[in-house]
């Protein structure tokens, strides 16, 4: 039986630590634009009546980069190796974010958000894949949860840096952190499982293979569907938290950046907790089902229980973050579902497709809001999203303790 010391020694090895720090910088850079959006666009001369449209345009450019980068880095991760993605992605988004500090037009800003999005897309999937393959299967869940829980705190740092520094300097700091981490990555070693597969004559990183059969497609689709509530909470409930706060007649205005910060604090704790619970129950599916049920209950509280005070509202934001804190668990499940020759492709594309789902959720939310009002409209979208996630969980293979040394034929 493994002692706590031996588990900790295996857990806190270089690939795990570097993957966690990489995701920390990734989240910092991913959310920084949302935090500095208003001030940066004002400095670029965007009038107030075009602020929302230009902001949505830039966010969509970043999201488009994430979708493109998810496919690009996923394929490269299986063809060239997990380390190639960890090096290449952080170099691209670090340089892009430094360049963001020098923009003078919205068009320049848009191009660099696209490039940054492409770079940002590779970090989580490659990191989770590497950690899952490097660690023993008995403690794999601890490792992937550690990566996510540490990484998600990057949102908290982004908020405080943006509060203390001008927006251009906040971008410089993020890019500098990425380049510092790039130096640390020199000491990271490749996954032994992937190294063995690389020596074999087998197709690797074939994205179209995921659609080669009905069974394969639905296995891949389920991996995406279970993650949708995470971005319903982040992309709808947190992004539009000032509007929800106003509609709920709270005792003061809600600041979106602060709501996001509190959500990500809860998300970090939730990610660590979901990993520990999956190890305790020897099950990924049971814990995921528990967190989905908790999310459903807290969405009801957020929208329909009169909270009155901003303090209570921020507390619910943090609790909601905890409830959707199965982000690492859901990416781990995706990585465990597929063989070594497709694992990075799946683990990298799945979270980025979930992030990209916000481009579907936003117009649906606006449609439902127009018909039902902001509260009931969000409630209907939440019901739809959570129902789809539960359907995705249904009939999904339990992957706890699964040996990852296998291939997709």
Q: With 70 as the cut, is the pLDDT of residue 5 above it?
A: no
Q: pLDDT for 334-352, tens place per residue?
A: 999 999 889 989 999 999 9
Residues 287 and 184 in one domain: no
Which CATH number is 162's domain given? 1.20.1250.20
1 domain residue, yes or no: no
233 domain residue, yes or no: yes
Q: What is the mean pLDDT of residues 93-104?
A: 95
- 3-state SS string for 383-404: HHHHHHHHHHHCCCCCCCCCCC
Residues 197 and 239 in one domain: no
Q: What is the pLDDT of residue 151?
A: 87
Give the residue from 205, 238, 254 where a domain finishes: 205
Residues 233 and 321 in one domain: yes
Q: For 49-194, list the strands marked E by DSSP.
A: none
Q: Torsion-angle region of residue 166: left (phi > 0), alpha (psi -120 to 50) or beta?
A: beta
337 domain residue, yes or no: no
Distance, in Å, from the CA atom of 351 to the CA atom of 66, rounded to the nearest integer, reads 10
Q: What is the pLDDT of residue 127?
A: 87
DSSP string covering 31-59, please?
HHHHHHHHHHHHHTT--GGGHHHHHHHHH
Q: What is the pLDDT of residue 4?
A: 65
Number of domains in the chain: 2
376 domain residue, yes or no: yes
Q: What is the pLDDT of residue 266?
A: 95
409 domain residue, yes or no: no
Distance, in Å, from the CA atom of 302 to the CA atom of 376, rounded to the nearest integer, reads 12
Q: What is the pLDDT of residue 124?
A: 86
Residues 198 and 242 in one domain: no
Q: What is the pLDDT of residue 224?
A: 96
Q: pLDDT for 227-237, tens place per residue?
A: 999 999 998 89
237 domain residue, yes or no: yes
Residues 281 and 383 in one domain: yes
Q: How confident is the model at residue 392 (pLDDT cuts 50, 70, 90)?
A: very high
Distance, in Å, from the CA atom of 1 to the CA atom of 11, rounded to the nearest integer, reads 16
Distance, in Å, from the CA atom of 56 to the CA atom of 50, rounded to the nearest integer, reads 10
223 domain residue, yes or no: no
Higher pLDDT, 302 or 257: 302
Residues 200 and 246 in one domain: no
| Residue numbers of the domain that contains 278 | 228-325+357-398
Distance, in Å, from the CA atom of 257 to the CA atom of 261, rounded to the nearest integer, reads 6
CA atoms within 13 A on the CB side of 127: 31
Sign, Cα dihedral of 401, 231, 16, 71: positive
Residues 168 and 246 in one domain: no
Distance, in Å, from the CA atom of 36 to the CA atom of 109, rounded to the nearest integer, reads 13
Q: What is the pLDDT of residue 1?
A: 46
Q: pLDDT for 106-117, tens place per residue?
A: 999 999 999 999
Q: pLDDT for 65-85, tens place per residue?
A: 999 999 999 999 899 888 888
Q: What is the mean pLDDT of residues 51-78?
A: 87
Q: pLDDT for 176-213, tens place per residue?
A: 999 998 888 777 777 777 777 777 777 788 888 899 88
- DSSP-derived 3-state class of residue 238: helix
Residues 153 and 281 in one domain: no
φ and ψ of 265, to 5 deg: -65, -45
Q: With 60 as the cut, is the pLDDT of residue 285 above it?
A: yes
Residues 49 and 189 in one domain: yes
Residues 22 and 128 in one domain: yes
pLDDT, averaged across the chain: 89
339 domain residue, yes or no: no
Q: For 106-228, list the strands marked E by DSSP.
A: none
Q: How confident is the model at residue 3 (pLDDT cuts 50, 70, 90)?
A: low
- pLDDT over 70, % of the chain: 98
Residues 277 and 188 in one domain: no
Residues 54 and 164 in one domain: yes
Stated pTM of the model = 0.86
């Amino acid at each position: 039986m493994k002692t706590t010391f031996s588990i900790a020694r295996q857990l806190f090895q270089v690939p795990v630590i570097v993957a966690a720090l990489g995701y920390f910088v990734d989240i910092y850079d991913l959310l920084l634009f949302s935090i500095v959006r208003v001030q940066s666009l004002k400095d670029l001369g965007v009038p107030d009546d075009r602020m929302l449209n230009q902001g949505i345009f830039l966010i969509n450019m970043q999201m488009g980069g994430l979708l493109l980068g998810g496919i690009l880095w996923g394929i490269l991760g299986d063809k060239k190796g997990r380390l190639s993605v960890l090096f290449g992605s952080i170099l691209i988004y670090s340089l892009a974010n430094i360049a963001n500090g020098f923009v003078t037009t919205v068009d320049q800003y848009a191009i660099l958000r696209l490039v940054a999005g492409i770079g940002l897309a590779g970090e989580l999937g490659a990191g989770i894949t590497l950690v899952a393959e490097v660690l023993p299967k008995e403690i794999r869940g601890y490792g992937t949860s550690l990566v996510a829980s540490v990484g998600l705190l990057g949102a908290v740092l982004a908020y405080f840096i943006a509060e203390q520094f001008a927006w251009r300097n906040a971008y410089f700091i993020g890019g500098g952190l990425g380049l510092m981490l790039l130096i640390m990555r020199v000491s990271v070693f490749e996954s032994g499982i992937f190294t063995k597969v690389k020596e074999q004559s087998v197709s690797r990183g074939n994205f179209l293979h995921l659609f080669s059969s009905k069974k394969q497609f639905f296995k891949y689709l389920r991996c995406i569907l279970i993650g949708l509530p995470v971005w319903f909470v982040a992309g709808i409930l947190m992004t539009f938290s000032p509007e929800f706060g106003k509609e709920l007649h709270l005792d003061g205005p809600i600041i979106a950046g602060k709501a996001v910060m509190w959500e990500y604090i809860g998300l970090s704790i939730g990610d660590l907790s979901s990993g520990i619970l999956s190890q305790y129950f020897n099950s990924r599916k049971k814990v995921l089902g528990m967190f989905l049920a908790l999310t459903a209950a807290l969405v009801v509280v957020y929208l329909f229980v009169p909270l009155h005070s901003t303090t209570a509202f921020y507390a619910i934001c943090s609790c909601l973050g905890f409830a959707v804190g199965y982000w690492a668990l859901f990416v781990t499940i995706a990585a465990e579902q597929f063989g070594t020759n497709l694992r990075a492709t799946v683990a990298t594309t799945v979270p980025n497709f979930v992030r990209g789902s916000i481009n579907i959720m936003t117009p649906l939310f606006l449609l439902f809001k127009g018909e039902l009002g902001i509260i009931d409209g969000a409630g209907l979208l939440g019901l739809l999203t959570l129902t789809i996630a539960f359907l995705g969980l249904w009939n999904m293979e339990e992957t706890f303790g699964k040996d990852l040394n296998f291939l997709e034929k």
